[in-house]
């Protein structure tokens, strides 16, 4: 199973997550079923209704130059960390800058800068606001900084589609290659918005888990006792190349991005629609030239909300079937919002490459409504020739990506 001349291949991977500061440590932790969720130690969280989060395992300030880090919002910092790893993993392709594009999605961009500077404005007046506020808080900041870092001149794009942002960035990356606008695209997502306001909003909406006393058991997709997601932060980026460009330079290939599906529900601002999700999956399969029975694995969006997980399970059953192995890695990483789809894509690429499906943590009792072959306990090993990863966001954004192995 391979890819046609109009497809794309994945030649580089980069990440910094609640499980590790790079791809190798993150992947090892995913396969081992480790926990990345912990108590929030800041003073403001002491009496907060939500006191847990999936926080970065390695601080970006430990990796970046001190002066540079000071000029960047946390979201921009981690995008740059992931981009450098992905670019190095791809072998630093020698590509015409005008044929190199960047697409980095985010849900909130520099939210920490905006909220922090607003506090300074209220407390100390306008003259104390940082002159770097605007470039640090703008949503396109991560894409802009990565494009500057790599000298990419074929476009620096920023899809903002809530929790589907990172996956939509990868879908746009494939479009740019298929349309002939780029030979190489660095695509993915970055998010860093663990803040009292964010947590308070999700707590009031009753979307976030309140298992404050057992953070390691809080995120439990598909489990009968699930009570909401756990906020997370991190970044994941993929280097995509046209099949011809990669072949010409004899690049090492992790997997092929064979097809994508993007749909919108036009239904409800927060409630997902099975029809929209199914359309995205079917579009991805059609784009990839795959039949449902060829899909061996599905990386589920599965955030651990009572309603959302059940809707996705029905959608997968209808669009693909109950035969694929299914995993929900947010049980380990928490929900990285705008970066979640990119991290899910990275995990799916590695499942295809290595023939390993990570387990889902915290399933004590599989919800009888689910009806899927959810991997639990130990990782499942065996060929994964074709896989689909799902991302669904508030606003009715649906993205499915189909990855295949190379011949």
Q: Rounded to an integer, what distance in angstroms lies between the CA atom of residue 121 and that of residue 240?
A: 42
Residue 195 annotated among the catalytic residues of the structure: no
Catalytic residue among 195, 297, 335, 397: 335
Query: What is the torsion angle, in degrees rounded to the nearest 10, for the CA atoms of residue 75, residue 79, residue 80 and residue 83?
Result: 180
Residue 397 annotated among the catalytic residues of the structure: no
How remote is the C-alpha of 378 from its chain's centroid?
23
Beta strands in 81-194 (DSSP E): 100-105, 156-157, 184-191
Among 311, 129, 111, 271, smallest CA distance to 199 is for 111
Strand order, beta sheet including 325-327: 156-157, 100-105, 184-191, 234-242, 8-16, 255-264, 397-404, 386-393, 297-299, 325-327, 373-374
Catalytic residue among 157, 208, 301, 397: 301
User: Encoding tokens for residue 315?
Assistant: 């959608």
Catalytic residue among 75, 163, 208, 299: 163
Residue 193 annotated among the catalytic residues of the structure: no
Q: Rounded to an integer, what distance in angstroms lies between the CA atom of residue 223 and that of residue 238?
A: 31
DSSP letter at 208 equals: B
- Whether residue 378 contacts residue 327, with contact meaning beta carbons closer than 8 Å, is answered with no
Q: Rounded to an integer, what distance in angstroms lies between the CA atom of residue 78 and that of residue 14?
A: 10
How remote is the C-alpha of 75 from its chain's centroid?
13
Task: Compute the half-sphere exposure of residue 87: CA atoms within 13 Å on the CB side of its CA.
Answer: 21
Positive or negative torsion for Cα 188, 333, 24, 31? negative
User: Encoding tokens for residue 205?
Assistant: 């909406």
Q: Rounded to an integer, what distance in angstroms lies between the CA atom of residue 91 and that of residue 167?
A: 23
- Cα angle, residue 112 at apex, residues 111 and 118 outer, rounded to 5°: 90
Residues identified as active-site: 163, 301, 335
């Amino acid at each position: 199973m391979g890819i046609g001349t109009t497809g794309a291949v994945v030649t580089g991977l980069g990440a910094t997550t609640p499980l590790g500061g790079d791809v190798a440590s993150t992947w090892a932790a995913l396969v081992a079923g480790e926990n990345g969720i912990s108590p929030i130690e800041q003073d403001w969280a002491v009496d907060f209704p939500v006191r847990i989060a999936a926080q970065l395992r390695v601080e970006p300030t430990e990796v970046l130059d001190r002066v540079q880090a000071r000029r960047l919002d946390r979201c921009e910092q981690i995008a740059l960390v992931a981009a450098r790893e992905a670019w190095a993993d791809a072998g630093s392709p020698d590509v015409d800058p005008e044929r190199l594009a960047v697409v980095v999605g985010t849900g909130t961009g520099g939210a920490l800068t905006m909220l922090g500077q607003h506090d300074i404005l209220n407390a100390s007046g306008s003259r104390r606001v940082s002159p770097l506020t605007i470039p640090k808080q703008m949503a396109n900041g991560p894409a802009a900084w990565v494009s500057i870092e790599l000298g990419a001149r074929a476009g620096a794009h920023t899809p903002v589609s809530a929790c589907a942002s990172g996956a939509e960035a990868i879908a746009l990356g494939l479009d740019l290659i298929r349309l002939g606008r780029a030979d190489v695209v660095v695509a993915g997502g970055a998010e860093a918005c663990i803040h009292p306001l964010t947590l308070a909003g999700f707590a009031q909406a009753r979307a976030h888990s309140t298992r404050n006393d057992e953070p390691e058991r809080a995120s439990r997709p598909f489990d009968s006792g699930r009570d909401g997601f756990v906020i997370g932060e991190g970044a994941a980026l993929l280097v995509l190349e046209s099949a011809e460009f990669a072949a010409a330079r004899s690049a090492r290939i992790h997997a092929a991005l064979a097809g994508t599906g993007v749909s919108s529900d036009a239904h409800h601002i927060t409630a997902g629609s099975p029809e929209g999700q199914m359309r995205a999956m079917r579009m991805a399969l059609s784009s990839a030239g795959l039949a449902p029975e060829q899909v061996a694995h599905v990386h589920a969006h599965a955030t651990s909300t009572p309603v959302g997980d059940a809707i996705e399970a029905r959608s997968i059953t209808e669009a693909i079937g109950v035969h694929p192995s299914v995993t929900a890695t947010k049980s380990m990483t928490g929900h990285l919002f705008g970066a979640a789809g990119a991290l899910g894509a990275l995990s799916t690429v590695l499942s295809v490459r290595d023939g390993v499906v990570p387990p889902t943590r915290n399933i004590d009792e599989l919800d009888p409504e689910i009806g899927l072959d959810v991997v639990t306990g130990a990782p499942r090993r065996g060929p994964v020739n074709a896989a689909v990863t799902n991302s669904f966001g508030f606003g009715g954004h649906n993205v499915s990506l189909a990855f295949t192995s190379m011949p």
